[in-house]
Amino acid sequence: MTAAPSSTAPDDADARRAVAPVICYPVQTLPQPDLALYAAARRGAAKVAETTVPPRHARAFRVPAGQFFRITCAEGPQVGDLNLFHAANLSERFFSGKTRALHGTHVTTGDRLWSCLPYLRPMATIITDTLDWYGRDGFGGGVHDVIGTRCDPYTHHLLSGQEYHHCCHSNLTRALVTETGLPVAEAETMVHDVLNVFMCTGFTADTGQYFMKATPARAGDYIELFAEIDLLGVLSACPGGDCGSEHSSDTATCHPLQVDIFAPAADALTGWTPPPPNGYDRRHGL
């Protein structure tokens, strides 16, 4: 929490505060996804795989480029923490900070999930979001945030002194170890900041603190994405359930999450190709 000011405001304080903001990353030139093409391909797609993520656990899944994956609240309100990796190169992973800079604090239909430097390309595009009606509420809250990191046992211990082993960071690490065979210590360093699927969050107007509130998602709500590159996804069903009270808990009501994979017809994506890594040539210097 921000401490009370210890310095005296200058005479022109109001004028300084009134300076108009400038958008850091104008996106008018950002390549746009062909949502009509994706929608047409999705209509004829067939389900080819599914994964159930149990409450307070995580599971990995794979999605080839050109296929779709849907994350669904299977039985009731439930928040999930999503990591994405390039399936053949785990050093390329989801970059929540740059996604936030390009699309805003919360993502929805038409927004893309971008990979880290030096790759910086779309990993997935959101094509359907049954919660896109929510927008921003009176507290400034929105759904599907790329603000928060992930609940983790280190911060939990820092704030409470307690040991808790089913934080999303821990769940994601274990699932990545199971899927890849990596040593725990190595896998833990690869787990990264997440897309908080279904989570309703924002910043308080007075203190600027990150807040959460109960998700508006209900059983059957889903978000569906198109895989722009070959993906390894890891999804944790947050131990906070709907995150209406706490996010590291063995007492919150939790539900499973469902991941379904859909493959379109062979000719449904004519003209589409996976995006190449970013074109910046660092041989000329950083």
Name the pTM for this structure.
0.95
pLDDT attached to residue 248: 84
Q: Are 85 and 226 in contact (CB under 8 A)?
A: no
Reported confidence tier of residue 2, pLDDT bands at 50, 70, 90: low
CA distances from 229 to 49, 144, 172, 226, 280 (A): 17, 21, 21, 9, 19
Q: What is the DSSP string of 133-146?
A: T----TTS-EEEES
pLDDT attached to residue 284: 74
Q: What is the pLDDT of residues 5-30, one digit of tens each?
A: 889 999 999 999 999 999 999 999 99
Is residue 190 helix, strand or coil? helix
Reported confidence tier of residue 282, pLDDT bands at 50, 70, 90: confident
Q: What is the pLDDT of residues 256-271, one digit of tens each?
A: 999 999 999 999 999 9
pLDDT averaged over every residue in the chain: 95
Reported confidence tier of residue 1, pLDDT bands at 50, 70, 90: low
Q: What is the pLDDT of residues 216-238, one digit of tens each?
A: 999 999 999 999 999 999 999 99
pLDDT attached to residue 12: 97
Reported confidence tier of residue 285, pLDDT bands at 50, 70, 90: confident
Give the C-alpha separation, 224 to 203, whole Å: 26
Domain boundaries, the chain: 40-267
Q: Tell me the average pLDDT across 154-179.
A: 95
Tell whether the model's pLDDT for residue 122 goes beyond 70.
yes
